[in-house]
Structure 1
Amino acid sequence: MTLKLRSAAVSDRGLIRSANQDSVHAGPYLVTVADGMGGMAAGDLASAIAIAAVTPLDVPTPDDQLVEVLRGAVEVAGERIRAAVLEDPGREGMGTTLTALLISATGTGLALAHVGDSRAYLLRGGALEQMTRDDTFVQMLVDEGVITADEALNHPRRAVVTQALQGDPVVPAYTTSTPRAGDRWLLCSDGLSNVVREGTLAETLNGYPDQEECARRLVDLALRAGGPDNITVIIADIVE
């Protein structure tokens, strides 16, 4: 039995922002989302650079090389962003989040790369689990016990990111796991996760079997919640 990735992505500008600074790729081996920051044109550019650096990984890759190739691509993304800033000092401060999921050629291994506050969730057996840790000021406060997770949802500094791909040294998180048939992954920018509660995410992921229909429903929920930011959603199912 060979397991494969079947995915769909939907991205929306939202109701407040004048442009969409998110970039996304959803392919047969790789799904990835990047949320740009640092001014409209620069944010667009940073997220596009990051996605362009990782999309060559959307090819069959051995299990034991998944993390290695992801790490290399993330380093390339950082180098290209640094070069873009040096080329135009007006881009100083631009950057992007990056969350990428890569399945092996045989479908027996998965690797996840993460930096910033875009997120990856895994729905397995009907239960939803957040698989990434936000690189944010409020997450640091939660970790230190200063505030609760519920208080973090409405904290005035919840958008302050502690690390992102900006051309400076970063410490991305790399994790591996074993896929199972029936697993459903959700990758999203914070335009979804900041406004739609986890319980609603789980209910929607369980209730919409079709990947694209599910992604569109989640974007719609974010828009109904005010759509204050760009919204990007990837639904990726592990199938036989």
Structure 2
Amino acid sequence: MSMVLRAVAATDQGLVRSNNEDSVFVGSRLLIVADGMGGLPAGELASDILVNAVSVVDALPDTGEPLQDLIAALGTANERIEAAVADDDARDGMGTTVTALLLAGDRVAALNVGDSRCYLVRDGKLQQITKDDTYVQALVDQGVLTPADARRHPQRALVTQAVQGGPFRPAGRMVPIRPGDRFLLCSDGLSDYVEDSVIEDTLRSHEQREECAGRLIARTLEAGAPDNVTVIVADVVEEA
């Protein structure tokens, strides 16, 4: 038995922003969401550089070391962002978050830097499999804030690290998969404004991936969509 990922992506600039700084990639075994920062047009450039650098992994043979492959590609992206900043002072401070999922046999490697997230729905239950690199998440870890408090905190979008040409420490894990699993990768334009319970209900109640992705975007727009929003909905399917 072999397993494949069947995935679709959807993105929207939201109701407030004048441009979309998110970038997205859906390959045969690699999924990426990157949320650029640094303002127009630097944020768009940073996320685009990252996706272009990391997406090459999709076409490479499975080495059996998917986390290391992703980390190496992130290093290349970081170097290219550093070079782009050096070329233009106006780009100083630009960078991007990233969440990526790479299929390797009967497992996936999940990697993130910043606050773009990856969720898994298994047996109807939603679980977040990445951990935000944010100020409020650090306060939650210290017991200063509850997760509910963190959702309402005015500094909830303050990231503590990103891919921006300097040192960073990506967080990665391997996740065993099985047919019927559904993954969601998203920028914080979704997770900051739509409750996890609503995300879970949407992922469970819309079997068709295209419809589900569109509905997640619609949920964000209904919540005011002050930020760009990007989602990937991916199903694990058994292939004969």
TM-score higher than 0.5: yes
SS in 2 for 1:64: coil
The aligned residue for residue 195 of structure 2 is 197
1:112 is the counterpart of 2:82: no
Q: CA deviation at 1:159?
A: 1.1
* Aligned positions of 1:156-175 closer than 5 A: 156-175=154-173
Match of 2:54 in 1: 54
Q: How far has the Cα of 1:89 moved from its partner?
A: 1.2
* Structure 1 residue aligned with 2:227: 229
Consecutive unaligned residues of structure 2, counting only runs of 5 or more, are none
**CA deviation profile, 1:134-163 (whole Å, cap 9, x unmatched):** 000010111111111101111011111000
**Aligned-partner SS, 1:78:** helix
- Whether 1:64 and 2:72 are equivalent positions in the alignment is no
Q: Secondary structure at the match of 1:9?
A: strand
What residue in structure 2 maps to residue 153 of structure 1? 151
* Aligned match of 2:32: 32
The corresponding residue for 2:81 is 81
TM value normalised by structure 1: 0.97
Tell me, in whole angstroms, the C-alpha distance in 2 between the residues paired with 1:207 and 1:60.
Answer: 35
**Secondary structure in 2 aligned to 1:187?**
strand
Q: How does 1:207-226 map to 2 (within 5 A)?
A: 207-226=205-224
Partner SS state of residue 97, structure 1: strand
RMSD: 0.9
* Match of residue 142 from structure 2: 144
For residues 83 and 210 of structure 1, the distance between their equivalents in structure 2, rounded to whole angstroms, comes to: 41
Q: Which runs of 4+ in 1 moved over 3 A?
A: none
Q: Is the Cα contact below 8 Å between 1:23 and 1:33 reproduced in 2? A: yes
Structure 1 residues not aligned, in runs of 5+: none
2:68 and 2:133 map into 1 onto residues whose CA distance is 22
Q: Distance in 2 between matches of 1:115 and 1:12?
A: 22
Q: Does structure 2 retain, via aligned residues, the 8 Å contact 1:99–1:118? A: yes
Matched residue SS, 1:162: coil
Aligned length, in residue pairs = 238
Alignment identity in percent? 52
- CA 1:222–1:189 in structure 2 vs 1: closer, same or farther (change >3 Å)? same
